[in-house]
Structure 1
Amino acid sequence: MVYKSLTQIDPEGVEARLCHACVRRVYRVFGPNHIWACDGHNKLKKFGICVYGFIDAWSRKILGMFVHTTNNDPKHVGVYFLHLVSKIGGIPLKVTSDFGTETGHLGTYQMWLSARYAGITTEEAEQRMHFTKSTHNQKIEALWSQMMKQHNASIKHNIKKAIHEETYDPNDKVQKLLFLFIWIPVFQSSVDMWVDSYNQFKQHQDRHTALPTGCTADYCYSTPESEGTTDQLVRVPTREIESIIELDYPDLDSMFEHTPPWFHELASRILEDLGYELLEVRC
């Protein structure tokens, strides 16, 4: 609703604001929720598995990772952002991402909510969305490298092995649907566990960085006073976010289906008949 209304009333203005925000800037991070860095991870995309993630740039806490068959749909990325805002209770002072089509809804929400709840002008709110090259989005890029080594590499190896041994044929439509039906929720559950482990890992002390070290990301994020700073979150009422989601995404459930309804129904029934349960994970 918000995104559609703004683009209909002033499409050139929305585009100009997004483009204007594209200027690269040097910035410092002053505390949790000062900057959220976000990006998509495509190393498993050829298998049908895509990830979109958000990290707090100061504490390096992973705020959320979302698994689906796509990570370049602006509607999906917009919903991911709104779910995080609802869960955390507000928006960061700034969001940084690469300038792709998938960030259209996210950028609009960040600027609109900033103008509405941060007590700043529309022009000032434009600076709350920062676009840069993916390679310059260092916090999230470093995270993808770790995730690939610690989590994804073995899964990628097993998938390639199954293809090589011809126990799985990704070109067979039914096999591909079954793969997505099983692996999207399973992969999401596995990613969730990896995120928890990552956020609870105590980082090594590093005197060469101004960012907090020698503590877990969870601890740093939740107790900024231990580092002599404060939470930078801009509070946004949960009811506001729920209203935006309800109005802008009436097709929310169908948006996150990763197989056609007929296949999901059939596969679920077969699993039930076999006595298995498959946890369905949604954002």
Structure 2
Amino acid sequence: MPNQNKPTSPIEEIEPHIMRMWKARLNDRQIVEELCKLIDTNQYGIGLTKFIQIRKQMGLIRTRQQGHTAQSIQNAMVELQAIYPNAGAHEMISLLYHEHNMSVSRSVIWDYFATYEPHLIRHRKAHRLQRCHFWAAGINDLWAVDQHDKWNHFGLALHTGIEPFSGKILWIHIWHSNRNPQLILTYYLDVVEEFGFIPLITQSDPGSENFGIANAQTMLCQWHNHTLEGTLQHRWMRSRKNIKPEIMWSQLCQRFTPGFETLLEDGVHQGWYDIDNTLQL
């Protein structure tokens, strides 16, 4: 065994690593393997049996041991549905795990919806999917950027950048405007500085707010590859063809926006109420 005749590493040193890997949904054996890479194995050791003891002492219990039912998750589900009213079964499993430390099986989630929210199941099944193909040669083949204007009436404007092949969100920023090319360019340059590389090409809808990214991407590509001189290393997508960011905005609107807009509306109404009271005084 890896920990035979060796003491276990101090809990305070390995606990942050255990929590990080637990949140990443690694199983016990995978966590032990990763811990052996992080601790000083010349001095310390850890085996599967000892790790399970430590995990239980930390209150980290697997799905079967937690033994949740549709009734036991009801309060947490009601709280989450107020914020994420359109979240499906898969997303609810993740939300319960990360926000309430509840490990729940898919069958329990389906049992909950069938018992307490049967109308949501009927509504979900009524949708018809339209499938489209999106091609990318590989990771960082392109970065797709797009703006979101649905919260302009709150004075909030969003902008995002996505790596489509992996689905990684490179940035999502919110400000009072998403039409300033210099501001949008800083989002791109901050990520480039953090990663230390650029994509082969960038992509966006037509719009002057994206001119900064288009020009910077083209200049950097030509700087590193002189054979690209005279070419544009940015792709302008027309007629809603910038698919990946549109999918991300669609998911945001479906899953997060309804609950969050309620909070924004309450804030706006409270703000007007405070102003009215001030004027009356």
- Relative contact order higher in (CA < 8 Å, ≥ 6 apart): 1
